[in-house]
Amino acid sequence: MSNVLEVKDLQIQFQIDEKYYKAVQGVNFHIGAGETLGLVGESGCGKSVTSMSIMRLLKDPTKVTGEIVYNDRDLLKLTEPQMRRVRGNEIGMIFQEPMTSLNPVHKIGRQIGETLILHRGMTPRQAQREAIEMLKKVGIPRPEQIVDEYPHQLSGGMRQRVMIAIAMACNPTLLIADEPTTALDVTIQAQILELMKKLAKENGTSILLITHDLGVVAEMCDRVAVMYAGRVVEEGPVRKIFHNPQHPYTRGLLNSIPKMTGERKRLEPIEGNVPSLRNMPEGCRFAPRCPFAMDKCVTHNPDLFEVEDGHRSRCFLQEGGR
Ligand code: SF4
Ligand code: MG
């Protein structure tokens, strides 16, 4: 399977008080054609900044290095006009809170239409007609009326459907969805995920799905990369990670999911907090919270060790491999 996206040795540094701190360090992952990769972790682990770096939305003085190879081109080397053609046209993006990405003073039809006029060279009339078609596809009732409404007139779930319509308008190769359903209630969440899955399947779109919710990963993803404190700590096929998690952090995350069946299990969140940017542990970044930490964990940073084909864990417990 050819890769649509390959992120290689990504490093993102934030400037705080004249000093640079590594928010993301040595991150590698890839997404195959038509594949959905979940990027999961607690808030502050670097998953959102990673997605923003792919879209080149991080501005100076933030430093981004490494390679972000999208269909054989390194996005970090494109000029801004070249990058504008990629954004919204080849790579679509959906954020958690559609109110912040929809323009409150423009009608829905115009917001979908803008993308079509810009990237697909449609006239405003054609774009309006296509916008109505897109609204139908994302399951919005009365699309002929909705094109003339403003974002605040719609519910959160409907606004997220509009965002999906905008993101899918140009039939992107890759869709980046950052916590797309976190702000929605559970029933609507399930509908939106189902819709994303259906559209992606119909169009062969690859998805990078950023979430802190392992239930969403189980529902949507083929593979998953677990991030902790700016690094990928475990990656592999979803089934393998769920049935045979290796990294103590992943095990902790999985333990903290409430069981849906049987008697209610007490939620066991992992104790302690994600380390701060200014105060990263020198060795394994999970060491201060890890129940298995050994001496060398404090001084040495583990590599990603292969557990089995395509399943890797960044923990000394897996050193020596299979
Ligand atoms: Fe725990 Fe050591 Fe593994 Fe880090 S390397 S997760 S501290 S056992
Ligand atoms: Mg985030």
Residues near 111 by Cβ (< 8 Å), separated by ≥ 6?
102, 103, 162, 166
Phi, psi of 273 (to 5 degrees): -120, 160
Q: Which ligand approaches the C-alpha of residue 43 most closely?
A: 2
Q: What is the ipTM of this complex?
A: 0.96
- Ligand 1, atom 6, residue with closest C-alpha: 315
Q: What is the pLDDT of residue 273?
A: 83
Cβ of 292 less than 6 Å from ligand 1: yes
Confidence band, pLDDT 50/70/90 cuts, at residue 274:
confident
Cβ of 283 less than 6 Å from ligand 1: no
Instruction: Please name the amino acid found at residue 13.
Output: Q
- Ligand 1, atom 5, residue with closest C-alpha: 315
* Residue 196, pLDDT above cutoff 70: yes
Q: Ligand 1: which atom is nearest the Cα of residue 298?
A: 7
* Residue 188, pLDDT above cutoff 80: yes
How far apart are the CA of 179 and the centre of ligand 2, in A? 7
* Residue 145, pLDDT above cutoff 90: yes
How far apart are the CA of 246 and the centre of ligand 1, in A? 11
Q: Model confidence over 216-265: pLDDT tens digits? A: 999 999 999 999 999 999 999 999 999 999 999 999 998 876 555 544 44
Q: Nearest to residue 314, comparing CAs of 288, 286, 272?
A: 286
CA angle 251-41-301, nearest 5°? 75
Q: Model confidence over 35-88: pLDDT tens digits? A: 999 999 988 899 999 999 999 999 889 999 999 999 999 999 999 999 999 998
Q: Which ligand approaches the C-alpha of residue 294 most closely?
A: 1
Q: Which of 274, 286, 305 to mutate to test the pocket of ligand 1 (most atoms within 8 A of CB)?
A: 286
Q: Ligand 1: which atom is nearest the Cα of residue 294?
A: 2
Q: Which of 294, 296, 303, 319 to mutate to test the pocket of ligand 1 (most atoms within 8 A of CB)?
A: 294
pTM summary value: 0.92
Q: What is the pLDDT of residue 259?
A: 54
Q: What is the pLDDT of residue 1?
A: 59
Rounded Cα distance between 127 and 51, Å, is 28
Cβ of 284 less than 6 Å from ligand 1: yes
% of the chain surpassing 70 pLDDT:
94
Q: What is the pLDDT of residue 269?
A: 66
Q: Which two tokens stand for residue 125?
A: 């009339």
Instruction: Please name the amino acid found at residue 64.
Output: V
Cβ of 248 less than 6 Å from ligand 1: yes
Q: What average pLDDT is seen over the chain?
A: 91
For residues 137-150, average pLDDT: 95
Cα dihedral value 52, 57, 60, 65, nearest 10: 50
Cβ of 305 less than 6 Å from ligand 1: no
Q: In a 3-state reduction of DSSP, which class is residue 157?
A: helix
Cβ of 233 less than 6 Å from ligand 1: no
Cβ of 251 less than 6 Å from ligand 1: no
Q: What is the pLDDT of residue 262?
A: 47
Q: Ligand 1: which atom is nearest the Cα of residue 287?
A: 7
Cα-atom radius of gyration of the chain, to the nearest Å?
Answer: 21
Residues near 277 by Cβ (< 8 Å), separated by ≥ 6?
14, 16, 21, 22, 23
Q: What is the pLDDT of residue 91?
A: 95
